[in-house]
Amino acid sequence: MTGCGTSRRGSTPTTRCPPADEARRLRARRRLESLGIARPTGPTAPFEPVHVAEAGEPAVVEGVRGEWRVDPARLGQPFHGRAALLSPFDRLLADRRRMNQVFEFDYVLEMYKPVEQRRWGYYALPILYGDRLVGKLDAKADRADGVLRVAAVHQDVTFTAAMTAAVDREIADLARWLDLEVVA
């Protein structure tokens, strides 16, 4: 199959192709489903646009100006947050403006900055706790020595004992996944 609607030989229709505007609506709806909440129009992230047009339902984000759209399947659902170490390339972080407005989280991947200009580390991992982005983990896998070297856990908010324990478990899980020992 070479594309929607034709076979490799170009003569036999295979599947129905939606009209272009229907395909755009479907793409916007799927994008909103993956994000949960987004602006109807917005910037294009380095790897894909993050706007969702008229998908979903209008929403208000308390304390943040502008229009938002929310996936209606998410409304009224219970939320069960947890701690997680995020990739700097996670879709949650792709729209820096949205991330700052919704989560009040300041983050820039610093791998291309000179060492003396870095605040959080070469490849700091954002830390999610519950429904908030709360810090950054500066760690490096040293495979030669078999260790995950934790240089710093930058706390954007003061961690409670429960937060510290949850983040420590995530760091231990990361080290286990990498088959390394944690060294602070």
What is the pTM (predicted TM-score) of this model? 0.68
Mean pLDDT (the chain) is 85
pLDDT at 2: 45
Q: Which two tokens stand for residue 164?
A: 């510290």
So where are the chain's domains? 13-77, 79-184
Tell me the per-residue pLDDT of 99-148, one tens digit each, with 9 for 90 and over: 888 788 889 889 999 999 999 999 999 999 998 999 999 999 999 999 99
The C-alpha atoms of residue 121 and residue 138 are separated, in whole angstroms, by: 5
Residues of the chain with pLDDT under 50: 1-2
pLDDT at 1: 41
126 close to 84: Cβ distance less than 8 angstroms:
no
Taken in order 91, 93, 97, 98, is the CA torsion positive or negative?
Answer: positive
In which residue are the tokens 């229709």 written?
13
The C-alpha atoms of residue 173 and residue 127 are separated, in whole angstroms, by: 14
Residue 100 contacts by C-beta under 8 Å, 6 or more apart in sequence?
A: 106
